[in-house]
Amino acid sequence: MTTTRLTRYDRSMLRLMNDPRGRPLYATTTRRRLVVAAHVALTVAIGALTTYFSLSSAEPMWAVIATAVLMLPWMVATGVINGATRGLLELRERALDERQSAERRRVLARAHRAMTSLLLAAVAGLLTAGAADGDALRVYAAPVLAAVLAAHWLMPLWVAGLTAQDEPTEDEAAGL
């Protein structure tokens, strides 16, 4: 950690992100990948329901209710990923040590590269849809932009969850 003193908020977030009670949920690489996959699936489902609600002429309230119901497991999965990464993206820079700061920079660089590819795919998809049907661009531009914005916001979290390392076991820690 840096020499800057931690605030009460920093200390409470550090305790929260290092709380061992959630460790069984993300103890292995497979579990972390499953949580990230569930988070991505929930994000896509919430985005699809929101898009359906906004594009539907009938304004179905069931889509709003289903979105609200899916938000709870989405928030839990977000917390599990943050716990698995020990708050890599949630903690302030002054609460991270040098290794964590370097890991944060690596995660952000990987997320940036992934987002560049996603943006390229979104542009290509919109241009293809616009060439096939002139109204497609006007209809789908806003939902696609909203989906890309959500992915841009969440990509660092997903990358951090997928690249988090396993905690050393007691045998490995004793051997050091």
| pLDDT number for residue 53 | 87
pLDDT, one tens digit for every residue, the chain (176 residues)? 456 788 999 999 999 998 889 899 998 999 999 999 999 999 999 999 988 888 888 778 899 999 999 999 999 999 999 999 999 999 999 999 899 999 999 999 999 999 999 999 999 988 888 888 877 788 788 888 999 999 999 999 999 999 998 876 666 656 65
The CA radius of gyration of the chain, in Å to the nearest whole number, is: 20
3 state DSSP class of 166: coil
Global pTM reads 0.86
- The C-alpha angle 163, 101, 36, rounded to 5 degrees, equals 25
Per-residue exposure over 42-57, b if at least 16 CB sit within 10 Å of its own CB, e if not: bbeebbebbbebeeee
